[in-house]
Amino acid sequence: MDRKVIATAAVLGLTGIVLGAFGAHGLKKVVSPEMVTVFETGVRYQIFHALFLLFVGTTAYVSDKAKKSILYLTVGGVFLFSVSIYFLAINTLLPFDFARFGWITPIGGLLLIAAWAVLFLHIIKQKR
């Protein structure tokens, strides 16, 4: 499980860096500064959660069962939160109005919160 969590962290980190560079250099020419900031928010949360998974994958304080739950919640959360933010930021460039799907973003946020809650609850329930 550790290898899977760390590999996922690496993929999220790698794609986060690539998307961050795209946002900083490519998007400035085609969307408003406000939308670049929105895009950067998605990147920031993706990178934070790549680091979160890196920690989860390398700690001995978390069981494999909890790691699996945290992994799925985090990946689902990043996908729904960050990816939906990416699409919202480039909405003017899309052939359809992605803003109709903006309700997805808070669901992703809730999944990310749940991942942190699983970590917290797992840690406090452990015996010393």
- Angstrom CA distances, 79 to 52, 75, 110, stand at 15, 6, 12
Domain boundaries, the chain: 2-125
What pLDDT was estimated at residue 126?
81
Give the Cα separation of 82 and 93 in Å (integer): 18
Our CA angle for 93, 97, 98, nearest 5°, is 90
Judge whether 78 and 45 are in contact, CB under 8 Å: yes
Q: What pTM was computed for the model?
A: 0.91
pLDDT in tens, 25-53: 889 889 999 999 999 999 999 999 999 99
